[in-house]
Chain A
């Protein structure tokens, strides 16, 4: 059984054959911002999930205009096929892809396995930063059908609609408030949103090479926890990056029509006055 939308994935070999394809732009999006300057796929540009994609002042993403400006500077046109890859099993690659979809960019793909697989295959990395001629880019209005906000999440939780918590089991139970050594990213309360089921993001990827698991395993994983295609699903984690990966899996690999990422995630919910919490 193949993925529902296999056109959203490419493998490392495909990328190796399209390094100089002018219709394709590779974007590296990592958790660790030094990886790109230390070596990246030839021709790839970097976006940083924080300094490039987040609004400089508010807790939000860049605006539609800022997004268009960013694409223009990276030499991305409205028709460019944008291929994302990154470290940590493509978390931040999925996060960047999700934001590109939010502003209406159509042709987006993930390089299956990300940096991990590329490096395992001993494929070349270069240090030269490419520069591309500026394009004229027009972003679309934000597509709110893929992004959940807190009030909607509360309604969703009260109605006991499907919610997926993709954090580690200890974060779900509230035993662990935040990642050790990352005190500033935490929340004042621990636990999970009432009604959420725990399906850690990592269960969707093969540990060995960071590629996505086959369809059958993914179906068993999510349907086994009652997260089904006919549902209206919201995924969340701590800041919305790991849940972007789960969002990608549900939306494009399994083809669920209604999936949203709640990017406020636990760092919003766990700090919200009066928000219901289960432990």
Chain B
């Protein structure tokens, strides 16, 4: 299955960018990650933060009437890389059906060559957030 159109566009955009453009664009995504909507705050307070070291990523998925899934994040501003990666995923996947989200390959971002801009180790965060989104999508599939 091809990547969802919007996500494919983002991947293609990054593929053609210089290192500096990648950094600037990632910062742009980090800065445009919307805050967590009020209606999730209560649920968020009950969730366990992930211990030490790890950037605490809180994620919520909502199924729309047309079956599309919308993701909302709460990620601290001290972790702009994770915010940026999450925003790319939300921009590329919001509104997609759960089945489409589940079909995104774990290494879909390889052609973006993000290693140039952020160290390879941080890209594990990308895989982690995507895995988290897929789990959420899978749960919504059966609802």
Main secondary structure of the interface of A (DSSP, over half): loop
Task: Check if B119 is an interface residue, CB within 8 A of chain A.
Answer: yes
B92 to chain A, nearest CB (A): 19
Dominant SS at the B interface? helix
> Given A33-B81, A38-B27, is A50 in contact with B120 using a C-beta cutoff of 8 Å?
yes
Contacts of B30 in A (CB 8 A): 34, 38
Sample of 16 further A-B pairs with CB below 8 A, known A181-B127, A184-B124? A33-B81, A34-B80, A34-B84, A34-B118, A35-B80, A180-B128, A181-B50, A181-B57, A181-B124, A181-B128, A181-B129, A181-B131, A182-B128, A183-B127, A183-B128, A242-B53
Contact of A33 with B122 at beta-carbon distance under 8 Å, contacts A87-B78, A179-B54 already known: yes
Interfacial residues, chain A to chain B (CB-CB below 8 A): 32-35, 37-38, 48-51, 87-88, 115-116, 168, 170, 179-185, 200, 202, 238, 242
* Complex Cα–Cα for A184 and B125 (A): 10
Confirm or deny: B51 has a beta carbon within 8 angstroms of a beta carbon on chain A: yes
User: Given the complex of chains A and B, what is the CA–CA distance between A181 and B121 in angstroms?
Assistant: 11
A-chain residues with CB within 8 Å of residue B125 when the two chains form the complex: 181-182
The 8 Å CB contact of B132, one of A179, A181, A200, is A181
Interface size class of B (residues with CB under 8 A): 20 to 34
Within the complex, the shortest CB–CB distance from A147 to chain B, in Å, comes to 20
Given contacts A37-B23, A38-B80, contact A32 B122 (CB under 8 A): yes
- The contact sample of 25 A-B pairs, CB cut-off 8 A, is A32-B55, A32-B80, A32-B81, A34-B80, A34-B81, A34-B84, A37-B23, A50-B119, A50-B120, A88-B53, A88-B78, A116-B78, A168-B51, A179-B50, A179-B53, A179-B54, A181-B54, A181-B125, A181-B127, A181-B129, A181-B131, A181-B132, A182-B125, A183-B124, A185-B121
Asked if B101 CB lies within 8 Å of chain A CBs, one says no
Report the bound CA distance from A122 to B82 in whole Å: 23
Minimum Cβ distance to chain A for residue B142 (Å): 23
Roughly how many angstroms separate A115 CA and B23 CA in the complex, as a whole number? 20
